[in-house]
């Protein structure tokens, strides 16, 4: 362990955890504007979380330890995953933190237990959500792995810290292959965070429910933890996309001034991305469940194309 990584391990998760809910709110705000509403204040999401954290927890009488265990496990998994994506500065990699496959499987761990939590209460909604979530996750997985493989092919490393140290240090990082991968990464971001056209995070209608259905039986602080984990996942995937295509300002050294600059820049870039996501969601209707694999193939296509270009060029 070196000091740079220790400091990173302290700062990056806290920064990510604090910033994550903001972008949930921002996307909601953009969608509200697009629909001609005003929408809740940006900081409402923090008040909601605080309210939830102070409310009592209600468990279903059919549920077991899985339901009690899942919220903590999910947030822990995502907090560890936040050590994999450099948001403030790029540390020297330590002990495999930053490995892309470990990162992807930490997300899989979160999904696995969320799905089990959905089945635990015995409600048909939860089961439906788990079933759909695991099915869709299975279909997107090849696209995800190939997209990250494309990143690894282009940037010649399996470690995101090394990768993004490379993109950040380039003066003009916009290589055509990285743009192609970014399209895939954007689709993955949409899919993994359960946004339109895959899932509609704003409703509780049976027909559209995937992610919301699985956490329907969760209450109080457990719900707050799950929502935080979800927001964190969104922020981390946004971070991967931003660092790939628009890494300007990401500090590669341990310097308080530079870290502050990259924090502010990241907040702005993520804000921009959130606006784009909000507009993207507003412009699309939800797809039929069984049409979705075709949408995923698009992500697969762009990443496979990237690898082929890297190999043949």
Residues 217-246 that bind another protein (CB under 8 A): 217, 220-221, 225
* H-helix or E-strand spanning residue 20: helix 3-34
Question: Which are the contacts of 218, defined by CB distance < 8 A and separation ≥ 6?
Answer: 67, 71, 117, 226
CA separation for the pair 157, 161 (Å, rounded): 9
**Which one, 257 or 290, has the nearer CB to another protein?**
290
Answer yes or no whether residue 116 interacts with another protein by CB under 8 A. Answer: yes
**Which one, 111 or 269, has the nearer CB to another protein?**
111
Window of 181-189, 240-248, 266-274, 299-307 that interacts with another protein by CB under 8 A: 299-307
**Which one, 139 or 254, has the nearer CB to another protein?**
139
Answer yes or no whether residue 215 interacts with another protein by CB under 8 A. Answer: no
CA separation for the pair 176, 123 (Å, rounded): 48
**Which one, 27 or 231, has the nearer CB to another protein?**
231
**Which one, 91 or 126, has the nearer CB to another protein?**
126
Site string for another protein, 120-139 (x = CB under 8 A): xxxxx-xxx-xxx-xxxxxx
HEC letters along 120-182? HCCCHHHHHHHHHHHHHHHHHHHHHHHHHHHHHHHHCCCEHHHHHHHHHHCCCCCCHHHHHHH
- Least separation, in Å, of the C-beta of 34 and another protein? 30
C-alpha 257: how far from its chain's center?
A: 27
CA separation for the pair 301, 272 (Å, rounded): 26
Answer yes or no whether residue 39 interacts with another protein by CB under 8 A. Answer: no
Q: Which of residues 84-113 bind another protein (CB under 8 A)?
A: 95-97, 99-102, 105-106, 108-109, 111-112
Q: Which of residues 41-80 bind another protein (CB under 8 A)?
A: 53, 56-66, 72-73, 75-77, 79-80
Question: Which are the contacts of 270, defined by CB distance < 8 A and separation ≥ 6?
Answer: 19, 23, 235, 238, 239, 242
Q: Which of residues 143-172 bind another protein (CB under 8 A)?
A: 143-146, 149, 152-153, 156, 158
10, 174, 205, 308: which one binds another protein (CB under 8 A):
308
**Which one, 171 or 312, has the nearer CB to another protein?**
312
CA separation for the pair 308, 212 (Å, rounded): 38
Binding residue count for another protein, defined by CB under 8 A = 80
HSE-CB for 96 with a 13 A CA cutoff: 3
């Amino acid at each position: 362990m070196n000091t740079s990584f220790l400091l990173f391990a302290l700062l990056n998760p806290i920064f990510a955890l604090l910033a994550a809910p903001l972008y949930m709110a921002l996307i909601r705000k953009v969608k509200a504007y697009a629909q001609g509403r005003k929408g809740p204040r940006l900081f409402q999401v923090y008040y909601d979380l605080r309210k939830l954290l102070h409310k009592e927890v209600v468990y279903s009488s059919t549920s077991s330890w899985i339901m009690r265990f899942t919220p903590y496990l999910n947030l822990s998994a995502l907090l560890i995953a936040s050590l994999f994506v450099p948001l403030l500065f790029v540390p020297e990699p330590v002990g495999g933190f930053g490995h892309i496959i470990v990162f992807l499987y930490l997300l899989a761990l979160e999904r696995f237990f969320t799905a089990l939590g959905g089945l635990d209460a015995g409600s048909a909604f939860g089961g439906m959500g788990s079933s759909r979530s695991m099915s869709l996750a299975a279909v997107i997985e090849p696209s995800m792995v190939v997209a990250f493989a494309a990143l690894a092919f282009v940037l010649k490393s399996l470690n995101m810290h090394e990768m993004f140290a490379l993109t950040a240090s380039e003066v003009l990082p916009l290589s055509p292959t990285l743009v192609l991968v970014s399209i895939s990464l954007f689709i993955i971001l949409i899919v993994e965070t359960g946004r339109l056209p895959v899932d509609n995070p704003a409703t509780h209608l049976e027909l559209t429910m995937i992610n919301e259905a699985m956490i329907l039986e969760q209450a109080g602080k457990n719900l707050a933890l799950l929502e935080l984990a979800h927001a964190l996942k969104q922020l981390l995937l946004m971070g991967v996309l931003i660092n790939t295509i628009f890494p300007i300002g990401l500090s590669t050294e341990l310097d308080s001034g530079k870290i502050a600059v990259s924090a502010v820049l990241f907040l702005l870039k993520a804000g921009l991305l959130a606006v784009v996501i909000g507009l993207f969601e507003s412009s699309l209707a939800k797809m039929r469940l069984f049409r979705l694999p075709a949408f995923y193939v698009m992500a697969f296509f762009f990443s496979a194309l990237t690898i082929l270009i890297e190999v043949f060029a």
